Amino acid sequence: MTTVAVTPARSVRPLAGVLAATVVSLTGTRVSAIALPWFVLATTGSATLTGLVAFAEMTPYVLVKALTGPLVDRLGPRVVSWTTDAVSAVTAGLIPLLHALGMLPFGLLLAMVAVIGAMRGPGDLAKSVMVPEAADRAQVPLERATGLSGVTERLASTVGPAVGGALVAVTGPMAGLAVNAASFALGSLVIAFALPRGMGRSAAPAAASGSETDSGSETAEQGGGYWPMFREGFTFLRAEPLLLALIVMVGITNLLDTGFATVLVPVWARESGNGPAAIGLTASAAGITAVAGSLIAAGVAHRLPRRTVFFAGCLLAGAPRYLVLASDAPMWAVVTVFAVAGFGSGFLNPILGAVLFERVPRPLLGRVHALGDSLAWAGVPLGGLLAGAAVALVGLIPVLVASGALYFVTTGLAGLRREWREMDRLRGHDRPEAAPVPVPAPAHR
């Protein structure tokens, strides 16, 4: 009996559901990023304690995310996403409640923020892992799906701070934290109930089927436990030169960008006399054009040469921002450079996501994605600390120039390495996917 492959009916519901849950939870997180520091500053008056709260959230975010890849693959990203968002919702909701009851000492606040960070890591990972499956169901190119995912992230990063700032100014920081709790709860409900049945299932059984990954390494043994699964993801990633090069580059730029946003831009705003309004103006200019760039990338990136577009985006998004602040340029020039940088950055994540999803077999996606993201984010908790220490040591202008030069070298010269040529070779129809469903062919009369 012959078999034929059945192509499932096209449905945009899974992709819309994943993107909706992502934008809701991320917007709440961005609101909290305004409300929580303001709450700590208002109640303690200490910038050091404010920085400690941020460190308490981001450190478990990175560490737990690195370790939960095997759990995402074994339990399924859907279960991990809605359960972690539910825990985050309860924890975030307890903060304003305990504060109102006078039962929120600073140590307890740190512990609760650490729980939220530890849940956000696997929750964000799980939503990201479901994007390629949602793209398959919607029958759209990976670049388009990851581009739309980038749009949701950019929208959340643009709308969230604006809403958070207004909300804190009008009603106080506790309202912002309550909104964060509600957003986690809504994201959990969307993933749990709005996605089609059968989506986001465990990929671990496929990994144990005895097949081999594209790197040639054997998959985990039948019934393998946590550490064999973790080791398999690490072994696969170690054998992928392009993915390792991407992780190293993104890790350095993430560290630089964190120091830029949390220290260098505020110090520039103060020393230049432009004030805090300049911070919001530059961030808004970059955020709006980043949304535009992500929308364009979602529509046409799959038709463009990836490597050329990627490094052109890096050139626009990186060093010019540092150098324009160091040059004492007028405000209109600063805003223009930030707007151009935002537009260029809108093309980066769609390409990065497509490369990752295409090169990693689906059964290994959670583990490899978790390790790659965590390594790329490893410098984020230290970015502000290093930038602040450098400014205190040598001053703002030398740090801006040195950081811009390092950004250019990292992104520009990295493209000359041989492994980057692989970026254009593996396209949608070549990527590792689940096998088509065989059904008996109809009998001819």
Alpha carbon distance 320, 340 (integer Å): 9
Residue type, 85: D
Among 381, 337, 309, residue whose Cα is nearest residue 59: 381
Among 292, 298, 388, 288, residue whose Cα is nearest residue 350: 298
Query: 357-368 b/e with 16+ CB inside 10 Å = b?
Result: bbbbbbbbbbbb
Inter-residue contact 59 to 192 (CB < 8 Å) = no
**Mean pLDDT score, 285-292:** 86
Among 196, 190, 167, 173, residue whose Cα is nearest residue 25: 190
**Mean pLDDT score, 317-346:** 92
**Mean pLDDT score, 388-393:** 83
Whether the pLDDT of residue 301 is over 90: the answer is no
**Mean pLDDT score, 99-120:** 93
Give the per-residue pLDDT at 14: 86
Whether the pLDDT of residue 148 is over 90: the answer is no
Half-sphere exposure (Cβ direction) of 185: Cα atoms closer than 13 Å? 11
Structure-derived torsion over alpha carbons of residues 314, 315, 318, 324, reported in degrees to the nearest 10: -160
Q: Tell me the pTM.
A: 0.71
Q: What is the pLDDT of residues 189-221, one digit of tens each?
A: 999 898 887 787 776 444 443 334 443 444 434
Among 392, 116, 406, 397, residue whose Cα is nearest residue 257: 406
Domain spans of the chain, in order of start: 1-201, 227-434
The continuous run of DSSP H or E covering 69 comes out as: helix 69-75
Q: What is the CB neighbour count within 10 angstroms for residue 266? A: 13
Q: How far is CA 118 from CA 106, 121, 283, in A?
A: 18, 6, 27
Give the per-residue pLDDT at 425: 58
Whether the pLDDT of residue 445 is over 60: the answer is no
Whether the pLDDT of residue 325 is over 80: the answer is yes
140-144, 245-249, 346-350: least confident range: 140-144
Give the per-residue pLDDT at 286: 86
12-26, 71-85, 362-376: least confident range: 362-376
Residues counted in the chain: 445
| 1-201 shares its CATH topology with 227-434 | yes
Alpha carbon distance 424, 98 (integer Å): 53
| CATH code matching the domain that covers 227-434, chosen among 2.60.40.1730, 1.20.1250.20, 1.20.1300.10, 3.40.50.720 | 1.20.1250.20
Inter-residue contact 320 to 407 (CB < 8 Å) = no
Intra-chain end-to-end CA distance of the chain, in Å: 15
Q: Which two tokens stand for residue 108?
A: 């307890």
Q: How far is CA 431 from CA 53, 212, 229, 354, 428, in A?
A: 41, 14, 21, 10, 6
Whether the pLDDT of residue 261 is over 60: the answer is yes
Give the per-residue pLDDT at 222: 40
Inter-residue contact 285 to 342 (CB < 8 Å) = yes
Q: What is the CB neighbour count within 10 angstroms for residue 123? A: 32
Q: Which two tokens stand for residue 172?
A: 């106080």
**Mean pLDDT score, 219-248:** 77
Alpha carbon distance 209, 220 (integer Å): 9
Give the per-residue pLDDT at 123: 92
**Mean pLDDT score, 367-382:** 82
**Mean pLDDT score, 283-298:** 83
Gyration radius of the chain's alpha carbons: 22
**Mean pLDDT score, 127-145:** 83
Give the per-residue pLDDT at 8: 57
**Mean pLDDT score, 10-17:** 84
Reported CATH class of domain 1-201: mainly alpha
Q: In 198-262, which ranges are continuous DSSP H helix?
A: 204-207, 226-238, 241-259
Q: What is the pLDDT of residues 156-177, one digit of tens each?
A: 877 777 777 778 778 888 988 9
Percent above pLDDT 90 for the chain: 22
Residue with tokens 């520009």: 412
- Give the best-scoring range by mean pLDDT among 209-213, 234-238, 265-269, 298-302: 234-238
Whether the pLDDT of residue 127 is over 70: the answer is yes
**Mean pLDDT score, 75-97:** 93
Give the per-residue pLDDT at 357: 80
**Residues paired with 437 in a beta bridge:** 6
Average model confidence (pLDDT) for the chain?
80
Q: Which two tokens stand for residue 21?
A: 């849950």
Alpha carbon distance 269, 276 (integer Å): 6
Give the per-residue pLDDT at 307: 81
Residue type, 369: H
User: CB-based burial of residue 276 (10 Å sphere; 0-12 exposed, 13-18 middle, 19+ buried)?
Assistant: exposed
Q: Which two tokens stand for residue 353?
A: 């996501």
Among 285, 286, 287, 30, residue whose Cα is nearest residue 154: 287
Q: How far is CA 305 from CA 265, 295, 310, 423, 425, in A?
A: 33, 17, 9, 9, 10
Give the per-residue pLDDT at 119: 94
Q: What is the pLDDT of residues 14-70, one digit of tens each?
A: 888 888 999 898 888 888 877 887 788 778 876 667 767 778 888 898 889 888 888
Name the more confident of 380 and 345.
Answer: 345
**CB contact set of 16 (below 8 Å; sequence gap of 6+):** none
